[in-house]
Amino acid sequence: MKDILLNYFIKNKKNFIIITIVFCIGVIGGIIFINNSKEPQITEINTYIQDLINNIKNSENINKLNLLFLSIKENSILILLIWFLGYTIIGAIFIYLLILYKGFCLGYTISALIAVLGVRQGTLVSIVTLLFQNIVFLFALFLISENRNKIM
């Protein structure tokens, strides 16, 4: 299985490099967007994140199963959209735009957490809340995006 995946990545490395570059451009765009935000926007983000953290701390019963299903539903919509776009003539452009969007969202979220909570705590919260769930999702997103682009 490992050899099959390795051969697949080597055979399609050009597509994976392009997808990774587009994703990284999105991440950098999200970081730049937060860094260039005005004071009222930073205050609003700060209030939102602090309220979210307080709600999580004060909530006794968090239904983890509902959160899991909500996450699967939202990510499935993105995956199905990429799958559908792979069968259209101009879909490859939109697939790259969706990857750019996902990168922007991730970069924006991480830099907002770091801006509000500080470098140390923001990085820790980002790793705990975002990194682990996105490792599997981004791997799947890159695989399906590369596979859908081969149709064109």
pTM of the model: 0.83
- Residues 45-92: pLDDT tens digits? 888 888 888 887 787 777 778 888 888 888 888 888 888 888 877 778
Highest-confidence segment of 26-35, 73-82, 118-127, 137-146 = 26-35
pLDDT(94) > 80: yes
62: three-class secondary structure by DSSP: coil
Cα–Cα distance, 148 to 151 (Å, whole number): 6
pLDDT of residue 10: 86
